[in-house]
Structure 1
Amino acid sequence: MLSIFTDRRKFSAGTVLCWTIHFFPAVISHRRQFNGTSLAGLLTKGINMTFSPQLLGSTLLTALLLSACQPESKPASLPDSAPAQQLASADNSRTAVDWPGSYQGVIPCADCSGIKLTLQLQADQQYQLSRYYQERADEPEQTSGRFEWSDDGSSIQLDDADGSRFLVGENRLLLLDQQGQRIGGELAAQYWLDKQQDEPDDSAPAVAAGLTIAGKWQLIELMQQSVADDNQVFLQFDPAGRVSGYTGCNNLTGSYKLQDAMLSFGPLATTRKACREDTLEPQFLEVLAKVDNISIAGEVLSLNRARMAPLARFRRLEQDQAE
């Protein structure tokens, strides 16, 4: 008949050892003495045992199972202070800080004079990021997508290729390393981006002398995403301050006001056709409502808001194309 002996011992160091031994009483007893010590005593002392046929007699020990418990552990003590990237406040940046807006700064660069970062954060957790490698690149790199908040609401992570992370403060962002930690060293203070006032970027090319937005412009890019070449979305401006166009589903008409590079649209009226779900119309109308300035480079018109990346780009249509 198989019997079971179970014991549990706690040692001075706090280690707990427990075991269960299955044995046949006819073969071995846990009370049997070995060199003056019982089987239980040998296990308690941590002595390795080897049973031999001579010790057990002619009958083999068919089952012997020893299982150890994990040491009883106490909860790890919490650090006295939170990590550097956390905010020591009951309110977190997500709820207590007016974070939507455009941020700009020049961070260190290994092979150029600096990287000019412009990051636009929207309340719906969409972003537009511009990276301009000064004295090395002709055009900035544009990225857009979605960002997520950290569990403690103190930082955000972009869904770009680098998984860029930023600590969010009042009117400032701090670029973090890939582990979400502050970047140290002598250049640590150069990783801040400051929130920009809601005004056009003076460095952006505005409407050059002799150029006008009068004419017909076909959409080529919307929210940093290229659109199909055969799309029919356009805007047409006349010198008298009237604008008309096509949203990809409905016609629109209204007024506009342009002073230097500052552009604003008056109320825009559209027809009421039912639109397919994949139409560009909702985004297009949203962009027109946000625009406050423009820039023209060659035959490309950019509609912008503050210093963020262009919301939409258009190419000028020749007279025969405009008809």
Structure 2
Amino acid sequence: MQHRRQLPWRETTHPYPIWLSEIMLQQTRVAQGLPYFLKFMEAFPTVADMANAPEEKVLHLWQGLGYYSRARNLHATAKEVTFNMNGKFPKSFSGLLKLKGVGDYTAAAIASIAYGEAVPVVDGNVYRVLSRVFGIETDISSSGAKKEFTALAASLLPPGQASNFNQAMMEFGALQCVPKNPDCTICIFNQTCVAYNTGRVNQLPVKLKKQKVTDRFFNYLIIKDANGRTLVNRRGDKGIWHGLYEFPLLETPAALSKEETVVLIQSFKNLGFTPKNISIINTEPVIHKLSHQKQHIWFWEVITDTELPEAVEKEHLKTIPLPIVLHNFATEYWP
């Protein structure tokens, strides 16, 4: 383990920081997740601190990390552990699986690292290492792949060394057996690695299933009332951004011309006022890519002489959770 990265959650066996880091690092690179981990640990030194915080604060700190369901599950689990489990995380793989947002991988990581339970961790890094070293051509997105790779990883676990083995496998995949152009000439397995010795490093692991990406077209209205304040709405209980705030939104099935969009905004009954002036802020759309959708976003400035009691000062936007694309816009628009 002398080559492992020095990471704060690796310096402890306490389940709270291990759990927090594993939730954060789901579909997130360590370099991106580390500042968030430190920020969360400063704001919530214990699981009880997180449980007692409003969800809005948790979402605000999470802003920019994406996949916001992770943050909502994080908060729900913190409350479950604090209020229903006397502040103690379950001490077994099976018990950890009962926590919201904790799947096989996360439960195995916590159980092996915090408690030394002999359960293998199988994530994208482990899939890659095992498929290459053993020459496994099973499609890792197929229904049987998880069972096959978990069984293989379990057979390799050295007695009493689950924590070190699992962390070593994840580190090896992250640092040496990387997805593209790994330096196999310095790899300790290059004498026995099937992929390297058969010229299939770039073909393994096999992943055939691709997620369909949907194009969506958003027009956000930056409404300025008679007092120079603006409107924001809190999203409801559906969608990837539920619980976050956003500007009033008009979504269209396709991109419209500037003239068509102005007419649409003028007829938007939910405004509750007659716009004095409408102007486009960005003529080229901001492109925001998610795993399952590609958003084409335009921002429109809508001026009214009406005083809107529900409008907020621009400084208020710094205190509430916004999707990162809206946060970035607001930061640039109101420097």
TM-score of the two chains, using structure 1 as the length reference: 0.20
Higher-helix-fraction structure: 2
Structure number with the bigger relative contact order (C-alpha 8 A, sep ≥ 6) is 2
Higher-strand-fraction structure: 1
Q: Which has the larger radius of gyration?
A: 1
